[in-house]
Structure 1
Amino acid sequence: MKRGRIFHNGAIHEVTPADAGRVRLPDGRLLFEADCHWLPPVQVGTVFALGLNYADHARELAFQAPEAPLVFLKGPNTVVGHRARTRRPADATYMHYECELAVVIGQTCKHVAKADALGVVAGYSVANDYAIRDYLENYYRPNLRVKNRDGCTPLGPWLVDAVDVPDPMALKLTTRINGRTTQEGTTADMVFDIATLIAYLSSFMTLNPGDVILTGTPEGLADTRPGDVVETEIEGIGCLVNHIVDDARYFQP
C-alpha cells in the first residue's frame, strides 16, 4: 500500500493514490496531487544518512568505497515534503541532488540480526538529500552547514509498505532536472545493503518507529539552480518533485 500525508482545509490527512493525477482522502474525496500541500509521509524521528554508500559514486568523487558504514545524523528541520521548495543560497556555486532510497523503521529494536533486519522495516520512500559542495569540508563526515540546512531534504510523496517491495535491493533510481535525465542507478550497487545497515546501527543504539535511514546515492550528480524542477524517482516507490529557489523566493511570505 502507498500512503502519503497532506495538509488540507486546516487539518492533516492521510491520502492514497487515485487516478488522473489525483489523491484520495479517507472519506473518499479526490484532490489533484498538484493542488495538495504535501507533508513528509511519516512523522520523522532520527534521520541517519549514509556517505559514499555506492561504489560508483565513491569513484565519481575519487574515493575508495568505505570499509565500514559512514553515517551522519540530520535534524528534523531538514525534512520537507513532496513539491516543496529548497533554497539555493546566493553564495553557492555547486549544489547537487542526491536521489536516495529512504528506509523507515517500524518498531523499536536493538541488536537486530542481519537475517532479521528487513522485518523491522515499516516501508520505503524517496529522499533527495541536497548538498552544497562549497560548504563541504570532509566527504567522510559532512559538516552541519552541508547536511543540516533547513528544507534541504525532501521526502515522499509516499510511504510504501515493506510487504509491497519484494526486493528493495533491486530498484532503479532516476533523477531528472527540468525533464532531462541526469542520474540513473540501482540499489543493487549499494556498498552496504539495507539489512547490513540496520544490523550495524542497532548494534549500538535503539532504533524507533519513524527513524529513517537514507541509504546513499549513485553516481551522476549535477548542479541545480533556482527555477529548476528536480524529480527523484525510485522504481515502485514513487516520484518526488522539488523546486529550487533563490533567497528572494524562499523568504517570500
Structure 2
Amino acid sequence: MNIHWMPEGTVYGTLLNFQREHARWAPRMSEAPYKAPPQAPVLYIKTANTFTPAGHSIALPAGKPVAVAAALGLVMGDTGVAGAVLFNDVAIVHESYYRPPVKFQCVDGFLGVGSECVPLQRLGGLDGLTGLQLELRINGVHRQTTALAELVRDAVTLLANVNEFMTLRCGDVLMLGSDCLPDGSRPLVHAGDTVEISATGFKPAVHRFEPEVIA
C-alpha cells in the first residue's frame, strides 16, 4: 500500500514573496485600505479540507476560472524545519489577490500535496533551497519555471520574520510563496487537465482536475 505524506498541522501560504509579483503590486501598496507597503510577511491559510494527496483528482467548480501555482513548503519538526514538500496551490481567480478571500483559496481539495517530505539535510539545509527551481507542466507541456533565487524573503529570512509574530508548531507548514507569469496571471486549468509540479530531489506532485459533481 502506497501511503502519501499529508500535512498534520496548519498550512500557511505567503503572498507577494517573489520579486516580479511584488514589483507589479508595489504601485498599489500605498492605496486604501493599507496606505503603505506591508512590513511583515503577508500570510493566508490553506485549511485541512483543501488537502488533496498526490495522484488524486481535484474537483473544479463549474463556470469559475481556476489557477494553479507551484510552491515549496517548509515542514516544521520538533526543533525547527524538518523537511520540504512540493505543493500545487489552487485558487479561484479573483480580483482581490492582495486580500485573498477564504472562499476562493479554501475550496474543497484546493491544495495538491506532494507525495513526500524530503529531509532538509538532503536539500542542503535552508540555504540550499535558494538554488531550487520548481517546474509546472499541464498535460505534459511546460508552463512555468519558479526559481527560489527570486524570492523577496528567502527561506531563512521568511521563517525568521514569521517567528517574530507567531509560533509555528511541529507539523505546521510554511509555503514560501508562488510566482506569477510575466503578465501577472497564473496558469489556468480546465476539467481533464493533469498538472505536474517537479523539482530536483523531489518526486513529482501530480494531480488531475475533474469537473465538480453536484449531488
Interval of TM-score (by shorter of Structure 1 and Structure 2)? 0.7 to 0.9
Task: Give the letter for the 1:76 counterpart.
Answer: A
- Deviation of 1:66 (Å): 5.5
Percent identical residues: 30
For residues 203 and 151 of structure 1, what CA distance do their matches in structure 2 show? 31
Q: CA RMSD in A?
A: 1.9
Q: Work out which of the residue numbers 68, 71, 86 in structure 1 matches 2:43.
A: 71
How far apart in 2 are the matches of 1:101 and 1:152? Answer: 15
2:203 corresponds to 1:232: no
How much does 1:123 deviate?
0.2
Matches within 5 A, 1:147-226: 147-166=105-124, 167-220=128-181, 221-226=186-191
Q: Structure 1 residues 224 and 43 mapped into 2: Cα distance closer, same or farther (>3 Å)? A: closer
* TM-score of the two chains, using structure 1 as the length reference: 0.73
Q: Given the alignment, which residue of 103, 106, 115 partners 2:77?
A: 106
- Structure 1 runs of 4+ with >3 Å offset: 65-68
Residue by residue over 1:61-105, the C-alpha shift from the partner in whole angstroms, topping out at 9 and shown as x without a partner, is: x3128553111122111111101111111120x211110011101
Look at both structures and tell me which one has the larger radius of gyration over its CA atoms.
Answer: 1
User: Does the CA-based 8 Å contact 1:82-1:155 persist in structure 2?
Assistant: yes
Aligned to 2:98: 140
Alignment size in residue pairs: 198
Aligned to 1:15: none
Higher relative contact order (CA closer than 8 Å, sequence separation 6+) = 2
In the TM superposition, what is the alpha-carbon distance from 1:187 to its structure 2 partner?
0.6
Distance 1:139 1:240 in 2: 25
Distance 2:22 2:67 in 1: 15
Structure 2: which 5+ residue stretches go unaligned?
27-36
State the partner residue of 1:51: 15
SS of the equivalent of 1:238 reads coil
Amino acid aligned to 1:155:
V
Q: Deviations over 1:7-61 (max 9, x none)?
A: x3xxxxxxxxxxxxxxxxxxxxxxxxxxx4x54x1442011100121112345xx
